Structure 1
Amino acid sequence: MDFELSQEQKEMVATVRAVTQERIKPRAMKYLDGTFPWENLKDLADIGITGMAIPEEYGGLGLSVLDTALVVEEVAKGCYTTAMSLMPQLGVQTRILAQYAPEDIKRRTFDGVIRGEYVLSVCMTEPHAGTDVAAIRTNAEIKDDRVVINGTKTLISKVDEAQLFVVFTRVNKVPGREGIGCVLIERDTPGMMRTGRFHTMGGEYLYEVSFENVEVPLENLVIKGDGLKKLMNAFNTQRCLNPSISLGLAEGAFEESVNYCRDRTAFNRPIGNFQGMRWKLAEMYRDIEVGRSMLYRAAASANPYPNPQLAALAKMYCNEMAIRVTSEAIQVHGGYGFTDEYPVSRFYRGARYGTLGGGTTETLKELVGKKIMADFPHDGFLGTGMF
């Protein structure tokens, strides 16, 4: 067994860390108002990051889920908003297009994504259907060589910036999981409207989008049926990238805390010389290392998508771990940690998103619990043949 990253991965992480610490982190404050970090995305595009998930035949790097997780983790240490801006380029939207979209759409779309000029938005959640994706009501009606879409999506990211929307919808009103499909809608298509906007505690905006008799060519219906299964397969990648942000936020908060404990003095000595502070750091470090091991194992299982149970476990743990660690980081900083002048408050606000997006913690616990009841071997852990 080899738990070491390859030399190429180490060099990649070092390059991303340098860009993040030198350029992206110093700008983090300016994006708390919801402004999209285009300049940061361009800096990452310049070193190839925005093309990591795009197959090589379209000009991308075609790298692994683990590689993308390593990068997202590193960017999150500097800026939550920028890490979130990478999700469309590395996550489910791009992977759905790469696997199912027509050639002309891939070639028109991927070049802009690679350059950091093109953002994709995925539209799933509806006002009455979040976790229960199979209950969505948005419908795509096939009419000869056209598809007509009607419905509403909510809590959608990147709406003001996206050039292409990957919309999961019912097809011809077929009920249940089998009726779910996926349609691509380009920006400014008549009938598509932004009908609401919500500023989040993490700093970015989420939106409500309505479709009223939106017409697209038939070839834009990239998944006609059984789309939920295909979506969930791709979503296991998202369940590694989401906790990568959580892990990066926890690591960033921990790094700030260690430095603060070295520099801040009380009673004529650094506060890191007090047992209470050292124990806090030890527990934070322990939790981060457990999360890293779980996440890397889940990401490394991808073939081409991560193992669903490992991805769920990694997401559950890292999401909740990040909330604990970033909260403790604020405590380490005392009153300063509660201000915007210190990065730990930003890390904490960003960490709170993890348990909500990409499958709530409660949903994932149920998924893992069902798997245990169905498949856990009678002879126990040794019978799994897994580490």
Structure 2
Amino acid sequence: MLSTRLYAYHQQLSPLSPDPFLMTAERDRDARMQSTSKAAGAREAQFALDEVQSDLRALAREISEREFRDRALGWERTGEFPWRNIKILAEHGLLGVALPEEYGGGGGTWLHAALVLEEVGRCCYTTAMAALGEVGVQTQAILKYGTEEQRRAYLPAVSAGELICAVCITEPDSGGDLAAMGTILTRSGDGFVLNGHKTLISRADVAGLFVVYTRFAGDGGDRPIGAVLVERDTPGLTVTERFDTLGGEGLYGVVFDDCPVPAGNVLVREDGFRKMLSAFNGQRCLNAAISVGIAQGAQDAAVAYAKERVAGGKLLGAHQGIRWILADNAIQIEAARLLVHRAAAEAGAGFPSRYHSSIAKTFANEMALKVTDNVVQLFGGHGWIKDVPAERYLRWARYGPLGGGTPHIQRNGLARHLLGDL
């Protein structure tokens, strides 16, 4: 069970050496939060993490601070995929935390996945994005919709950090408009042939398995869209151009040219459009968790800086204007965190709802942009220097609103939920 594995992992970890610039504020904050929670008593119990969840978060935080934070800029500068960090997450049971134990996972939930990704995102955006599909999105689609043969073929390798999955949705001529998708799967003998061009695909340089959204030729309906599993060595699959990004993560083009797809590799066909959109709600929820982590990391750096920097003859944190900025940041971060936990916790054995995942994503993405901008401003000229944490957090926060559906798309969906089709 997850609790047993967490106990074993904690025994392997030695104490961290303190980093006063980034860690003191975080630990002070946790101590204050624990004190507040105890004082509130039973009234706050419904909002508290249980012991296993708290231990999981502590483990993810300790690993991220120890192993990921100091190397974060290195991954950006080299453009390399953080295989080392993926292996560390796998060794500690965090990569497959939301997968059943029978597939090498920890038997956790979407909330466990969100807790892990928040802590990883607080220290290293590149690693958080590298783990996003493995911790929750692509693997959960295979778990929920795949055959037993598909689950056993791929999920244990993901949990072990041996297989990276990439989801292929966006196309050069269709981003958020899935109905305009041009990739097509055509029947050929006992199987299918896949043709299409995907772009801006994360992890395509190292992925061993591609979860490809596609149209099914000959199927009726307005949106005959489903998904297939395509292994990297499939003839006709080509990873093309690389796009270097503001956050340091590489994105790629992927072309499918008469790729043979066995019938056994169809992941979703019947009611495929609805099912794959439901699966994508998980991506929205975890995207939001990463945004919360980024904002919290920036806030921790700002609090530590405000306690050290002297301006106008007194500490920066003694100025009321600075204190209010940090207080407003804290309000926004805590609100976003609660929205993420709400969306993740309600999912149970299914996927987060479109309604709550869209609310969480929109609020968390926009919150992270505002908080990180506040932090850069608080650092002054130093906030513009690349080796200072404020700058990297601002860059990291910018991807959130772009991936998994823009805030405009989320607001359209929320309005449709509230008003129906007018």
Q: Same fold (TM over 0.5)?
A: yes
1:349 is aligned to 2:392: no
Q: Is 1:147–1:221's contact at 8 Å kept on the other side of the alignment?
A: no
1:6 is aligned to 2:63: no
Q: Which residue of 2 aligns with 1:98?
A: 143
Deviations 1:224-271 (A, max 9, x none): 232110011111111110000100000000000000000111233211
Deviation at 1:370, TM superposition (A): 1.7
Q: Which residue of 2 aligns with 1:39?
A: 84
Cα gap change, 1:100 to 1:298, in 2 (>3 Å): closer
Q: Point out the more displaced range, 220-229 or 39-48.
A: 220-229
Q: Distance in 1 between matches of 2:222 and 2:365?
A: 28
Q: Which residue of 2 aligns with 1:280?
A: 325
Q: Which residue of 2 aligns with 1:378?
A: none
Q: Which residue of 2 aligns with 1:233?
A: 278
Deviation at 1:142, TM superposition (A): 1.4
Look up the SS of the partner of 1:280 in the other structure.
helix
Q: Distance in 1 between matches of 2:274 and 2:280?
A: 10
Q: Distance in 2 between matches of 1:54 and 1:298?
A: 18
Deviations 1:24-49 (A, max 9, x none): 10110101132111111111111101
Q: Is 1:53–1:89's contact at 8 Å kept on the other side of the alignment?
A: no
Q: Point out the more displaced range, 364-373 or 120-129.
A: 364-373
Equivalent residue runs for 1:180-329 within 5 Å: 180-303=225-348, 304-329=350-375
5+ long unaligned stretches in structure 1:
376-387
TM-score by length of 1: 0.94
Q: What amino acid does structure 2 have at the position aligned with 1:68? A: A
Q: 1:145 aligns with which of 167, 190, 208?
A: 190
Look up the SS of the partner of 2:211 in the other structure.
strand
Q: What amino acid does structure 2 have at the position aligned with 1:273? A: A
Cα gap change, 1:162 to 1:79, in 2 (>3 Å): same
- The percent of aligned pairs where both chains have the same amino acid is 43
Q: Which residue of 2 aligns with 1:71?
A: 116
Count of residues in correspondence between the two structures = 375
Q: 1:331 aligns with which of 371, 374, 377?
A: 377
Q: 1:363 aligns with which of 409, 412, 418?
A: 409
Q: Distance in 2 between matches of 1:312 and 1:176?
A: 26
Q: What amino acid does structure 2 have at the position aligned with 1:122? A: V
Q: Which residue of 2 aligns with 1:380?
A: none
Q: Is 1:140–1:173's contact at 8 Å kept on the other side of the alignment?
A: no
Deviations 1:107-160 (A, max 9, x none): 232222111121000001111111111221101111121210011001111011
Q: Point out the more displaced range, 211-220 or 105-114.
A: 105-114
Q: 2:71 aligns with which of 18, 27, 33?
A: 27
Q: Which residue of 2 aligns with 1:385?
A: none
Q: Point out the more displaced range, 191-200 or 312-321.
A: 191-200
Deviations 1:256-292 (A, max 9, x none): 0000000111233211111111111111111111111
Q: Is 2:278–2:353's contact at 8 Å kept on the other side of the alignment?
A: no
5+ long unaligned stretches in structure 2:
1-44
TM-score by length of 2: 0.86
Q: Distance in 2 between matches of 1:101 and 1:300?
A: 23
Deviation at 1:305, TM superposition (A): 1.4
Q: What amino acid does structure 2 have at the position aligned with 1:26? A: D
